[in-house]
Amino acid sequence: MTTLTETWLIFQRSMKQSLRNPAWVIIGIVQPVLYLALFGPLLVPIIQNTPGFPPGDAYQVLVPALLVQLGLFGSLFVGFGLISEYRAGVIERMRVTPVSRVALLVGRALKDVVVLVVQGILLTVLALFFGLRAPFGGVVLALALVAVLALAMSSASYALALKLKSEDTLAPVLNTIVLPLLLLSGILLPMTLAPTWLYNLSRVNPFVYVVDAERAIFRGDFGGSVVVVGIVVAIALVLVMVGWGVRTFQRESA
């Protein structure tokens, strides 16, 4: 059986699990919607009166960033589900079968990508009612980029979960990682507003490039180097994280 078929089998299984218990999918979408509804209106007057904002209106700045946030948060916490499966012996049982380790990881991660894209579409459609204007092709490209990011993040989350094997350790580790990543990504406010040292610090964070690219895409600015850099960073992230994840599935020991 090919790795592709095996990935499809694992994907189907994960999808069924999510559909049987859709609470997490709903919880995942609530946060960005709250930002959209309760933070977006604040941003409108700020953007009009503050120099240094990237071009575009408030929602062209906010919505692409919320998509990245969705990709980051939604996917980084999927590892929790894996730990309970690990405890039930599911991972071990699958590792004794001839199934490819790539399928074991990627099948699960692709389910997370699909869930995320659906959430992203919902968020974007909702944003239209708040006054978002963006080119259709741009939105599609933006969602594709977030999908790549989500694949990277959920792979990382699974790898980390299998390494730590305990919710009690995973939660603080993820929270420690996520907060600086969020603050230095320019998701809430663009880093162009930051003092030089903070701006320079933010350049270490790969997500800042993805956020910049998403904003450019939402403005319809497809050709710029910002977009290319964002896409390259996302692809690099996905290669590293999926590689790490597959290695963890190969090596995980009791």
Partner 1 sequence: MIHASGLARTFTTRRGPVEAVSGVDIDVAPGELVGFLGPNGAGKTTTLRMLTTLLAPTAGSATVAGCDLLTDPLGVRRKIGYVGQSGGAGPDCLVADELILQGRFYGLSPARSRERAAELLEQLDLTGTETRVVQTLSGGQRRRLDIAMGLMHLPTLLFMDEPSTGLDPQSRANLWGHIRGLHAEHGTTLFLTTHYLDEADALCDRILVIDKGTIVAEGTPDELKRRVSGDLVLVGTTDPARAADITARIPDSTEHAVDGQTVRFRVPDGASVLPTLLGELSRAEVAMTSVEVRRPSLDDVFLTMTGRSLRETEGVGV
The H or E element that residue 217 is part of is helix 206-219
Region of residue 190 (left: phi > 0; alpha: psi -120 to 50; beta: else): beta
CA neighbor of 85 nearest in space, from 158, 7, 4, 27: 158
Outline where DSSP puts E strands in 56-208.
none
- C-alpha span between 210 and 177 (Å, rounded): 17
Q: List Cβ neighbours of 9 (8 Å cut-off, separation of 6 or more).
A: 99, 103, 107
Number of residues that bind partner 1 (CB under 8 A): 24
Which one among 34, 41, 55, 95 touches partner 1, defined by CB under 8 A? 95
Residue 203 engages partner 1 in binding (rule: CB under 8 A)? no
Residue 112 engages partner 1 in binding (rule: CB under 8 A)? no
Q: Measured from the CB atom, is 93 or 133 closer to partner 1?
A: 93
Shortest CB 10 distance to partner 1, Å: 9
Q: Measured from the CB atom, is 92 or 128 closer to partner 1?
A: 92
Whether 114 and 25 have beta carbons less than 8 Å apart is answered as no
Candidates 9-17, 173-181, 207-215, 228-236 — which segment interacts with partner 1 by CB under 8 A? Answer: 9-17
Which one among 51, 52, 89, 223 touches partner 1, defined by CB under 8 A? 89
Which one among 9, 15, 188, 240 touches partner 1, defined by CB under 8 A? 9
Q: List Cβ neighbours of 134 (8 Å cut-off, separation of 6 or more).
A: 60, 63, 124, 142, 218, 219, 220
Site for partner 1 in 66-85 (CB under 8 A): 84-85
Q: Which residue has the tokens 């603080």?
A: 172
- C-alpha span between 158 and 103 (Å, rounded): 13
Which one among 27, 46, 88, 236 touches partner 1, defined by CB under 8 A? 88
Residue 1 engages partner 1 in binding (rule: CB under 8 A)? yes
Shortest CB 88 distance to partner 1, Å: 5
Interface mask toward partner 1 for 224-253; x: CB under 8 A: -----------------------------x
Interface mask toward partner 1 for 34-73; x: CB under 8 A: ----------------------------------------
Shortest CB 113 distance to partner 1, Å: 20
Q: How many residues does the chain have?
A: 254
CA neighbor of 244 nearest in space, from 236, 210, 97, 93: 236
Binding site for partner 1 (CB under 8 A): 1, 6, 9, 13, 16-17, 20-21, 84-85, 87-90, 92-99, 253-254
